[in-house]
Structure 1
């Protein structure tokens, strides 16, 4: 009985296996019938665009750094004790704004001495004039000798020269008095003082620095290999202003219009680059020196360019090449090689490979392969239930 029971269990297992396998095959056959060759997959739904010729502007964007339009060191022109700082550090000052005062007492005394010396020289000149007139009269009457006449004339000339020396010394003394009051030589932002009040300053000591930042300069570079490096659009001159737009702030959202006003004569051999300079208004001092910015310049204009969205580009067959999917009248796509031109304000310029009137796929290229049929809709419009 035990052996019979064991044989019964062994006989049932192969039967169950066979039954399960048959069920799986039946299900697979049903699925194959639903998705097999008898029923095609729906074509991919893709946006398309008709290639058109248009006038476009070619822009190039350069990285640069801002610099003060003028930077002046404010230096002492006389020695003395620094008595006063009359400005607020880091604030805007106008030309002529008082900045520092140096003790002027010794220079006022020197000026008073020079004034007195001039008065003395003028008195001596008057005496020399009177003596000359007297000797000249006596000489004409034969009373005075030639030597007396010559001595009187020489004394007059020396007195005249002494007055001029005294006048010059008075002017120099007055200038030194004026130098004790140091005013802003230009308008701009006055920096930190470098000498504290109460210290002795000497001639030539730097007391502060003023930076004129309205307008502000931008120094930028472009590669000598740039195809537009020798284009007139990057060669500013007095009769050839080049308009430019400075981009700054988060993601370049802030813009200031200006112009390029300088181009270096030679190429930097270390970096193979050409230096350019732009000038931009900065009335609110929003831009500070040594700030990294970008400058956008219109370098060319094409009258009949073929322009496509960058999203329409894919890799070509050859490494480093580019292609687009063109769509024929039966909505069949072909991988078409293209040669790229420059980027424009409207999209990617195509140098060769396309013609006006051709239709191209503008997005969703990853799900495509050559020679399949697609269901197109016009780019920029809703797919209208074609999900």
Structure 2
């Protein structure tokens, strides 16, 4: 049987919540205007740069209109220049010049309008992102607002949204650290914001934390450990020393009796979380006390013991 010495360890109580990973930038891509698809450049999983053309609708009609409007604007500009020269010779009235200037301005405005329509029918990535699944193809007619795909921003950071009880939320501040677990891998995140509103049904508040560096995929479910209260000193013992029974948690203290013989004594304790290979004991033990570890399941109250080692 082995013996360990209870040691003092800093402990901070935590509460656990389930969170969702969110990209810093995330949108559902839709077309603003109806039209027929001429080109598709949506490869699911591909990372595209900001400004990359993803879907191009047919703009042959708009391009023809633009050519006609450009010619009309050139003619209007030429007419205006001619009339301005004639005005200097007092061969035309100021009103004729004003009308020519207005005609030129209208022609230029029509060009800008048509260019805006062409731009809206050329759908580009608004930011660097990873492309989601898609089901659109060249030749397909799209109504306004058709869902094309999703774009998840590709950043060196991500957000994690989770909820905590209102009492816990009241003690959280931006900048505090929380621990995020995706599988067995812990990652540190920093609280970015605490929602000012508490859900009236659950009495929980939404909290957003920011993960810097490598983060789980957007949409992933993660476990979040949130500190509750300040760090306190506690007692820690090896996990193997803690026994559980019908009467609750207990350990076997190893101490000499009045005759100097080493005996085991059952000691009820209140246990806390497991930290690495140790378990926190919230009450029932003091630092320096010796407890049985491996082999403690063989012990009973006041039995004589012989230890193999102590740590």
> Equivalents in 2 of 1:58, 1:266: separation in Å?
25
> Equivalents in 1 of 2:33, 2:178: separation in Å?
45
1:313 aligns to what?
A: 242
Post-superposition CA distance 1:146-171 (Å, at most 9, x none): xx9xxx33443343333222222112
Quote how far apart the aligned CAs of 1:106 are.
Answer: 0.8
Structure number having the greater strand percentage: 2
> Equivalents in 1 of 2:277, 2:152: separation in Å?
40
> Equivalents in 1 of 2:301, 2:203: separation in Å?
42
Residues 1:196 and 2:127 aligned together: no
In structure 2, runs of 5+ residues without a counterpart are none
Would the aligned equivalents of 1:216 and 1:279 in 2 still touch at CA under 8 Å? yes
Quote how far apart the aligned CAs of 1:346 are.
Answer: 5.9
1:371 to 285, 302, 310: 302
1:326 aligns to what?
A: 253
**Relative to structure 1, is the Cα distance of residues 282 and 51 closer, same or farther in structure 2, using a 3 angstrom cutoff?**
closer
2:210 aligns to what?
A: 279
> Equivalents in 1 of 2:144, 2:76: separation in Å?
30
Q: Secondary structure at the match of 2:268?
A: strand
1:219 aligns to what?
A: 161
Q: Secondary structure at the match of 1:72?
A: strand
2:122 aligns to what?
A: 181
> Equivalents in 1 of 2:310, 2:219: separation in Å?
44
Q: Secondary structure at the match of 1:185?
A: coil
Post-superposition CA distance 1:327-353 (Å, at most 9, x none): 222322333333445554563333333
1:63 aligns to what?
A: 18
Q: Secondary structure at the match of 2:51?
A: coil
1:288 to 206, 217, 226: 217
Structure of larger gyration radius: 1
> Equivalents in 2 of 1:327, 1:255: separation in Å?
36
In structure 1, runs of 5+ residues without a counterpart are 1-45, 139-147, 381-387
CA RMSD of aligned residues (A): 3.4
Structure number having the greater helix percentage: 1
Would the aligned equivalents of 2:179 and 2:186 in 1 still touch at CA under 8 Å? no
Q: Secondary structure at the match of 1:332?
A: strand
**Relative to structure 1, is the Cα distance of residues 194 and 314 closer, same or farther in structure 2, using a 3 angstrom cutoff?**
same
Quote how far apart the aligned CAs of 1:111 are.
Answer: 0.9
> Equivalents in 1 of 2:118, 2:231: separation in Å?
65
Q: Secondary structure at the match of 1:275?
A: strand
Q: How many residues align?
A: 306
> Equivalents in 1 of 2:141, 2:293: separation in Å?
74
**Relative to structure 1, is the Cα distance of residues 127 and 64 closer, same or farther in structure 2, using a 3 angstrom cutoff?**
same
Quote how far apart the aligned CAs of 1:359 are.
Answer: 1.6
1:356 aligns to what?
A: 287
Would the aligned equivalents of 2:128 and 2:154 in 1 still touch at CA under 8 Å? no
Post-superposition CA distance 1:194-242 (Å, at most 9, x none): 43211223443333222225444333333446xx55444xx3x2xx252
> Equivalents in 2 of 1:193, 1:53: separation in Å?
57
Would the aligned equivalents of 1:247 and 1:295 in 2 still touch at CA under 8 Å? no
Post-superposition CA distance 1:262-301 (Å, at most 9, x none): 3333333433433333333576xx8434333323456677
TM-score for both structures, normalised by structure 1: 0.66
Would the aligned equivalents of 1:242 and 1:261 in 2 still touch at CA under 8 Å? no
> Equivalents in 1 of 2:291, 2:144: separation in Å?
75
Would the aligned equivalents of 1:72 and 1:211 in 2 still touch at CA under 8 Å? yes
**Relative to structure 1, is the Cα distance of residues 257 and 213 closer, same or farther in structure 2, using a 3 angstrom cutoff?**
farther
Residues 1:122 and 2:57 aligned together: no
Q: Secondary structure at the match of 2:136?
A: coil
Would the aligned equivalents of 1:56 and 1:344 in 2 still touch at CA under 8 Å? no
Q: Secondary structure at the match of 1:271?
A: coil
Post-superposition CA distance 1:85-132 (Å, at most 9, x none): 123233222222222222221111111122122223323433443454
Q: Secondary structure at the match of 1:69?
A: coil
> Equivalents in 2 of 1:314, 1:275: separation in Å?
38
